[in-house]
């Protein structure tokens, strides 16, 4: 049993910020009680100074692209050809993949991310390296083999039978083992034949509780190319029964109204990746239309098109994007940003009953943000008008340098 003292901010209800300046009692990794400090004996862990948030949830991030971060100035398809794919080819070498896996998991933890849906590699050995490193560190990851059978460099291509066999092997080793789960992951329907998407559907059906993830409607040239190849973009997945409540599609910057209705009907979530959308010039995310249609939305860093691992930065950029949309935008409060970065992500990944907020019964996945003394965030937090204002300042100025501690299942994995 551990008693943790601090200022805890979370959003068990969307849009409503909850604050506790007090104590959480954690047993076997689970919050079993919470309340004011005077209701508990002296705390074992003192996190006063700064704020404690639920561990951040990244619903879309690419493991093989850590070293590709910062490739600015290109639209999606050029960026893939020139930046992302050449780097991803290098993960064929197991030693290279192991080094990148270490950098990747470390990058997530340093940013305060405790749960992630990770786009793996096209190479099974590299996916194995990622799961191995995530398990060593203690991160909660859902990931899988990325598959494609057209358009990409030859060394990244597979075929439907091999995709199924390698996916099965990886899932047998990692799905439901510790904190790891498997995600069936066609790269995007532009790089997949109908037969390959069907093999993905077969694997998904075999795996109880597995997640499906891919990309959708990111860039107008990409959307037009998918239209030529498959017909509709959302339909390319839906026709193979790949969309359900355990499915997460990244981006969806350019959906039709009909596509939003299909996503809502299936319960499929969208990973909104705002720094990536800005960096690649993909467009401004139509959050208001997603909400109006009833589509679940969470946040993704989309490293390496996204500009870093911090979901605080993604939250701020999501806010900017909605501001820039004017009347078509959805104004976001600090509580909305925290919800998007935590509980909404947990819900998108089917983990909403375990993580995403710090209520009694939830796992103690948490990040302690305590800015270095004298830093601008430290200075402005001291004059915050209240919890909402403090949280706004955290999103405006916070980043990995402010992460003083990270916990998963009550175990401190950093700081």
Residue ranges binding ligand GUN (CB under 6 A): 62, 76, 80, 84, 187-188, 215, 218, 276, 302, 305
CA distance between the termini of the chain: 20
Among Zn ion, ligand GUN, none, partner that 187 touches (CB below 5 to 8 angstroms by kind): ligand GUN
Least distance between ligand GUN and beta carbon 196 (Å): 14
Least distance between ligand GUN and beta carbon 259 (Å): 17
Among Zn ion, ligand GUN, none, partner that 130 touches (CB below 5 to 8 angstroms by kind): none
- What is the Cα–Cα distance from 133 to 106, expressed in whole angstroms? 9
Between 285 and 407, whose beta carbon lies closer to ligand GUN?
Answer: 285
Among Zn ion, ligand GUN, none, partner that 365 touches (CB below 5 to 8 angstroms by kind): none
Token pair for residue 225?
Answer: 């190319």
- What is the Cα–Cα distance from 404 to 413, expressed in whole angstroms? 11
Between 87 and 302, whose beta carbon lies closer to Zn ion?
Answer: 302
| C-alpha torsion sign, points 93, 98, 99, 100 | positive
Least distance between ligand GUN and beta carbon 80 (Å): 6
Residue with tokens 């939305």: 297
Least distance between ligand GUN and beta carbon 380 (Å): 33
Nearest-CA neighbor of 128 among 85, 180, 87? 180
Between 186 and 334, whose beta carbon lies closer to Zn ion?
Answer: 186
Pure H helices in 59-149: 76-79, 85-89, 94-110, 124-137
3-state DSSP helix/strand/coil percent for the chain, to nearest 5? 45, 25, 35
Least distance between ligand GUN and beta carbon 321 (Å): 15
Between 340 and 403, whose beta carbon lies closer to Zn ion?
Answer: 340
- State the Cα angle at 187 between 181 and 193, rounded to 5°: 120
Which of helix, strand or coil describes residue 271? Answer: strand
Q: Is 269 exposed, middle or buried (0-12, 13-18, 19+ CB in 10 A)?
A: buried
Omega cis (within 30) before 19: no
Least distance between Zn ion and beta carbon 163 (Å): 19
Least distance between Zn ion and beta carbon 66 (Å): 13
Least distance between ligand GUN and beta carbon 74 (Å): 11
Give the DSSP letter string of 45-72: EE--SSEEEEPEEEEEEEGGGGGGTT--
Other CB atoms within 10 A of residue 162 CB = 16
Among Zn ion, ligand GUN, none, partner that 272 touches (CB below 5 to 8 angstroms by kind): none
Least distance between ligand GUN and beta carbon 105 (Å): 18
Residue with tokens 């390496």: 304
Pure H helices in 267-342: 274-279, 287-293, 311-324, 334-341
Least distance between ligand GUN and beta carbon 194 (Å): 18
Binding interface with Zn ion (CB under 5 A) = 250, 302
- What is the Cα–Cα distance from 81 to 19, expressed in whole angstroms? 46
Between 302 and 409, whose beta carbon lies closer to Zn ion?
Answer: 302
Between 196 and 305, whose beta carbon lies closer to ligand GUN?
Answer: 305
Between 273 and 392, whose beta carbon lies closer to ligand GUN?
Answer: 273
Other CB atoms within 10 A of residue 136 CB = 11
Between 302 and 347, whose beta carbon lies closer to Zn ion?
Answer: 302
Strand partners for 5 = 23, 46
Between 302 and 336, whose beta carbon lies closer to ligand GUN?
Answer: 302
Between 25 and 185, whose beta carbon lies closer to ligand GUN?
Answer: 185
């Amino acid at each position: 049993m551990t008693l943790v003292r601090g200022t805890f901010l979370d959003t068990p209800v969307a849009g409503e910020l909850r604050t506790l300046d007090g104590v959480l009692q954690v047993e076997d990794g689970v919050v079993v009680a919470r309340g004011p400090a005077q209701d508990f004996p002296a705390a074992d862990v003192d996190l006063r100074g700064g704020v404690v948030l639920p561990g951040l949830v990244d619903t879309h991030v690419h493991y093989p692209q850590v070293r590709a971060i910062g490739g600015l100035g290109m639209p999606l398809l050029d960026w893939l050809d020139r930046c992302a794919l050449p780097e991803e080819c290098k993960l064929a070498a197991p030693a290279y993949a192991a080094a990148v896996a270490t950098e990747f998991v470390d990058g997530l933890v340093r940013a305060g991310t405790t749960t992630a849906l990770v786009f793996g590699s096209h190479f099974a050995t590299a996916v194995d390296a990622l799961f191995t490193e995530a398990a060593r560190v203690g991160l909660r990851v859902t990931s899988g083999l990325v598959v494609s059978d057209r358009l990409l460099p030859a060394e990244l291509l597979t075929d439907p039978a091999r995709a199924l066999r390698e996916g099965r092997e990886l899932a047998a080793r990692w799905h439901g083992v510790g904190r790891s789960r498997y995600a069936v992951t066609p790269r995007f329907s532009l790089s997949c034949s109908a037969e390959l998407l069907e093999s993905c559907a077969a694997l998904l059906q075999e795996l109880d509780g597995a997640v499906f993830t891919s990309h959708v409607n990111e860039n107008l040239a990409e959307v037009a190319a998918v239209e030529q190849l498959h017909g509709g973009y959302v339909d390319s997945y839906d026709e193979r029964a790949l969309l359900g409540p355990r499915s997460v599609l990244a981006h969806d910057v350019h959906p039709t109204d009909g596509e939003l209705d299909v996503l809502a009907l299936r319960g499929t979530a969208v990973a909104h990746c705002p720094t990536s959308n800005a960096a690649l010039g993909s467009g401004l995310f139509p959050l208001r239309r997603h909400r109006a249609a009833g589509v679940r939305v969470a946040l993704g860093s989309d490293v390496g098109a996204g500009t870093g691992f911090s979901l605080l930065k993604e939250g701020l950029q999501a806010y900017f994007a909605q501001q820039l949309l004017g009347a078509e935008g959805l104004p976001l409060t600090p509580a909305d940003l925290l919800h998007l970065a935590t509980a909404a992500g947990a819900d998108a990944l089917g983990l909403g009953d375990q993580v995403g907020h710090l209520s009694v019964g939830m796992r103690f996945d948490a990040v302690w943000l305590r800015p270095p003394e004298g830093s601008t965030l430290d200075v402005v937090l001291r004059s915050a008008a209240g919890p909402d204002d403090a949280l706004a300042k955290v999103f405006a100025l916070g980043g990995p340098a402010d992460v003083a501690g990270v916990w998963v299942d009550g175990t401190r994995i950093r700081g």
